[in-house]
Structures are given as C-alpha cells and as structure tokens.
Amino acid sequence: MQALDILIAEDERVQREMLRDFLAGQGHRVVEAENGAVALEKIKAATFDLAILDYRMPDRTGLEVLEEARRLNPELDVILLTAYGTVDSAVAAMKAGAADYLGKPLDLEELLCVIERIARHRTLQRENERLREQLAETGLKPEDLVFRSSPMAELVNLAGRVAASQATVLLRGESGTGKELFARLIHRLSPRAAKPLLIVNCAALSETLIESELFGHERGAFTGATQRRIGRFEQADGGTLFLDEIGDVSPAVQVKLLRLIQEGEFQRVGGNQTLRADVRLISATHQDLESKIASGAFREDLYYRLNVVSLSIPPLRERRADIPPLVDHFVTRFARENRKALKGVSREAMDQLVKYDYPGNVRELENIIERAVVLARGELITTEELPFGRRQAGEESAAVRQSLRQALEHLERRMIAEALEEAGGNQSRAAQRLGLSERMLRYKLKKYRLKPA
C-alpha cells in the first residue's frame, strides 16, 4: 500500500499515541495534534494526504476542523472518529466531504481498509489527471469526462490501459450511462487515434440495412441498390468501429461479424469479392447477453470474441458522488448556451438531485438540468424548476429518518452476497465486481458473517 502523510487530531493522549504507533508501523508518516486548533496550524504549515479527526475535541468539533481543513487543502481526505455517532452527524460529515465516518471503539482492521481505499483512490486520481492531459491533446474535451466516485475513477483508469491494446472491448451498462463516451475515450487514447472512429447504432437498423451499413453492397444487390456502397468496416480501416446495441444484431449478421473478427475478411452484400479491413471493434449493450445466448438469440462464439475486455459502467444511482460535479458541468454548459447568468443550484435542489434514482441515468440528469436552466428565474436553480413531485419528497423524508448505518449495511451485505454468488464464490472476482480490494472484501465477509459458496 502507498505510504501516506497522515495527521491525527485526538485529545486523548493514549488513543492518539496508539493510533500513531499503529499507522507508523504500517509505513505511514504520522504527525499528531492534541486539539482542533493545533491540527489546523499543522495543516496550514504542511501538506497531508489524510487527516484522522476525533469528532469531540475540547476547543471545537471534528466537523468544524474538517470544514476549515478542506478550505485550506481541498485535496485532503478526512476520516472522522466518534463514540457518539448519530445519523445527523454522519450525514453532515459526508456532506462536508469526509472520506469516511468510523465509530469508537475503533476497529483497526476497518481503519486500515478505509486508508487502503483512500490510498488507491489517490493513486487513481493522479493517473487520471495524466489521462485528462492526454485527452486534451487528442481533441476529446477533459470536461466531458466528469466524475468524482471511486468506481468511475477505476473504470476510466482501466479504459486508459485498455486503449493501448488492440483488444476488442464490450461496454456494458444501462441506457444513458455513457457507453459512447467510453468508446470515444478508448479510441482517442489508442494508437489508432489518427484514424476514424465510426459509430453504428444496431438497434436503429433493420437486418438488410445493417448488413449494407456494416459491409457495404454492390449495385443491384437488392431493390433500391442503384450503386455500390462502401460499408463502415471499409471506411474505418485502420481505425475503430463502435457497434452500439450489439445485442440487437440478427443471427445472419452475427455470422458475418464473427468471420470478420476471426479472419479480418468480409464481402459486400451481393458481391463475391473477399475484402479485408484492419478495424478495432468496440461494442456496447444494455442487454443480458448471457440470457440471449441461453435462448439461442446470440452466438456464444461471437460473444467471447467481443468480450475480450469488458467494462461495466455503473448506473448513476450507484455512484451518487458523481451527481454534484455532473450537475455543475451541465449548469455551466446550458447556461452558456442559453445566455443565462446562473451561479449554480440551491442546496435544497442539489439534495433532491442527489437523492433521485435516474432510471435514464446521465442522459436523464442532462435533460433535467437543461429544462431547469431554461425555466430558472434567478441566479440559482431551485426545487421549483425540478420535475420531482411531493410524493418523492415524502418518501425521501421517511428514508432520512431511518438509521443510516443500518440501511447502508443492509444494502452492502446484499451486494456482497450477490457478487459472491455471481463470481461462484471466487473472492478475487467478487472484489473486482464490487470495486473493493480483496483485503476489504475479507473484512466485510467477516463483519457480515458471510461465507463464499
């Protein structure tokens, strides 16, 4: 694990020194502070990766130190510790930017797992900053790649590594999650970036049309074919072809795709000349291809050819940390397009936006913000401009009254159990699916008394 510069602010000397010795023994560089004021002085004087703050200190609360520390160093990660945990204090801590909120007596194994997650996220952030710089040179605007959550940071990092290869890529995720954006990212960072990226939406074309679109056709091949047409594979020679909604391709077209991937060869519709094309294939689907294989609607051999590297893009409801930066991005963009002097979104409006589930994912959020910008009267978008009704607000109020920790633990336990079942009990694959380290997964298994099948 990467060594971090850590500040511990804790007024109980024994607890503070125990933490110092434990973390130093893990290879971290540790500095101590006996109260909030001293902690802030040290944060002003030096740069830390992580601050571990006791919630109750004699001169000020850990939350007050957190808010001031984040103003001094926006890149600082913070863990709050408390023996007096409540739902309200946990929510306030997370809203203020805390990386985590842990109860006392402190479980050192849990603390270590949280620190490991923070260290991994910081490494990903640095690598992704380099990716953004590369993107700026290729023409894809870095601001179009907006995220804050760890799952998306890891996914973008993986896409950057995959881009350098020649492997076919299968992008999976619900409609509106940004599969086309990832296809563009992979192409722009690949050795093929100077050649074309062509996009075909397979769901929008009939079987005859998609064959002609992909492979081209000869004059007279079918009614209306008055001249030869060059297909997308020929046009994309040397570059990348992105096949969106690959699950809608007919069995006949699947056979031709399989031949092209295996042999690099194809024929135009109505022709007998064998042609060759050097094309990298990226495909995408929101469907369950495994179920389609079981029903005979999708070829298993084609699936394995397309699925050399698979990237699963999580829905927006599973990465709510990405919602505020996406909102800011869309507000800025649509305010500029509509020539409105908007400063942003009110706190109440942002709360509603973060809590909504977005069945249409990022595309739905984009539409909601565009509408809100158009309707906004003042400098801020308010709840009045959002399409959420009173029923949802009532549901949200009831949800907030639940025990936050109990609700989160129930969800986390269920997700871990499902991931283990899908991975056939393989802890390494389950951890990868969940975006956790194997160490963190082992801790969670022990915590929830779960046993791999």
Residues 391 and 415 in one domain: no
Domain identity same for 111 and 37: yes
Half-sphere exposure of 355 (CA within 13 A, CB side): 21
Q: With both helix axes pointing from N to C terminus, report the angle between 150-163 and 108-138 in degrees, rounded to the nearest 10.
A: 50
**Of 312, 334, 353, which residue sits at a domain end?**
312
* Together in a domain, 251 and 334: no
Residue 157 within any structural domain of the chain:
yes
Instruction: Report which DSSP code applies to 50.
Output: E
Q: Which residue has the higher pLDDT, 356 or 98?
A: 356
- pLDDT tens digits for 118-157? 888 887 777 767 766 666 665 555 456 788 787 888 888 8
Q: Which residue, among 271, 276, 250, 249, has the nearest Cα to 261 in the 3D structure?
A: 276
Is-contact 217 174, C-beta < 8 A? no
How far apart CA 386 and CA 149 sit, in angstroms, is 24
Reduce the DSSP state of residue 309 to 3 states and report it. Answer: strand
The answer to whether position 411 is within a domain reads yes
Write down the pLDDT at residue 360.
93
Q: 243 in a domain, yes or no?
A: yes
Last residue of a domain, one of 312, 329, 354: 312
Query: pLDDT tier at 371 (50, 70, 90 boundaries)?
Result: very high
Distance CA 34, CA 393 (A): 42
CA distance linking residue 170 with residue 111, whole number of Å: 36
Give the pLDDT band of residue 402 (cuts 50, 70, 90).
Answer: very low
Q: Establish if 219 belongs to a structural domain.
A: yes
For 47, residues 6+ apart whose C-beta sits below 8 A from its C-beta are 5, 73
DSSP letter, residue 202: G
Residue 134 lies in a domain: no
β-pairing, 77-82 vs 50-54, is parallel
Q: What is the pLDDT of residue 331?
A: 95
199 and 258 share one domain: yes
Shared-domain flag, residues 85 and 158 = no
Q: CB neighbours of 222 closer than 8 A, spacing ≥ 6? A: 208, 212, 269, 270
Give the model confidence (pLDDT) of 206-244 as tens digits.
Answer: 877 888 899 988 888 777 777 888 889 999 999 999 999
Comparing 14-23, 34-43, 91-100, the range with the smallest average pLDDT is 91-100
Report if residue 416 sits inside a domain: yes
Q: Domain end: 312, 330, 355, which one?
A: 312
CB-based contact 203:265 (threshold 8 Å): no
Is 136 inside a domain boundary? no
Give 390's pLDDT tier (boundaries 50, 70, 90): very low
pLDDT at 395: 46
pLDDT at 394 over 50: no
Q: How far apart are CA 355 and CA 350, in angstroms?
A: 9
Question: If you ran DSSP here, which 8-state letter would residue 322 be given?
Answer: G
Q: What CATH number is associated with residue 90?
A: 3.40.50.2300
Identify the CATH number of the domain in which residue 248 sits.
3.40.50.300
Same domain, 94 and 203: no
Are residues 247 and 153 part of one domain?
Answer: yes
User: Does position 393 have pLDDT exceeding 60, yes or no?
Assistant: no
- Residue 398 predicted with pLDDT over 50: no
249 and 377: one domain? no
What is the reported pTM?
0.63
Q: What is the rounded average pLDDT of the residues 163-176?
A: 93
**Number of domains the chain is built from:** 4
- What is the C-alpha separation between 307 and 325, in angstroms, rounded? 31
Q: What is the rounded radius of gyration, in angstroms, for the C-alpha atoms of the chain?
A: 26
Please tell me the distance from the alpha carbon of residue 217 to that of residue 220, in angstroms, as a whole number: 8
The answer to whether residues 369 and 413 belong to one domain is no
- The whole-number pLDDT of residue 404 equals 52
| Ordered alpha helix ranges (H), 339-389 | 347-355, 361-375
- Specify the higher pLDDT residue, 146 or 362: 362
Q: How far apart are CA 399 and CA 91, in angstroms?
A: 13
Looking up residue 427, the CATH number of its domain turns out to be: 1.10.10.60
Domain range spanning residue 355?
A: 317-401
- CA torsion angle 410 77 27 46 (round to 10): -160
Residue 378 lies in a domain: yes
Q: Using the CB atoms, write b or e for 153-187: b if 16+ within 10 Å.
A: bbbbbebbebbeeeebbbbbbbebbbbebbbbbbb
Q: What is the CATH number of the domain that holds 356?
A: 1.10.8.60
Q: What is the pLDDT of residue 7?
A: 93
Inter-residue contact 443 to 416 (CB < 8 Å): no
Q: What angle do CA 248, 434, 298 make, to 5 degrees?
A: 20
pLDDT per residue over 293-337, tens digit each? 999 999 999 999 999 999 999 999 999 889 999 999 999 999 999
Q: Where are the beta strands (DSSP E) in 286-439?
A: 309-312, 344-345, 380-381
Q: How confident is residue 397, by pLDDT bands cut at 50, 70 and 90?
A: very low
Q: Does 185 lie in the same domain as 287?
A: yes
Q: Which pLDDT tens digit goes with each residue over 404-449?
A: 556 667 777 888 887 887 777 888 888 877 777 777 788 788 777 7
| pLDDT value, residue 64 | 87
Give the chain's mean pLDDT: 85
Q: State mean pLDDT over 266-288.
A: 91
69-72: long-range contacts, CB 8 A cutoff, minimum separation 24: 69/39, 69/40, 69/43, 70/96, 70/97, 72/40, 72/43, 72/44
263 and 150 both lie in a single domain: yes
Same domain, 211 and 265: yes
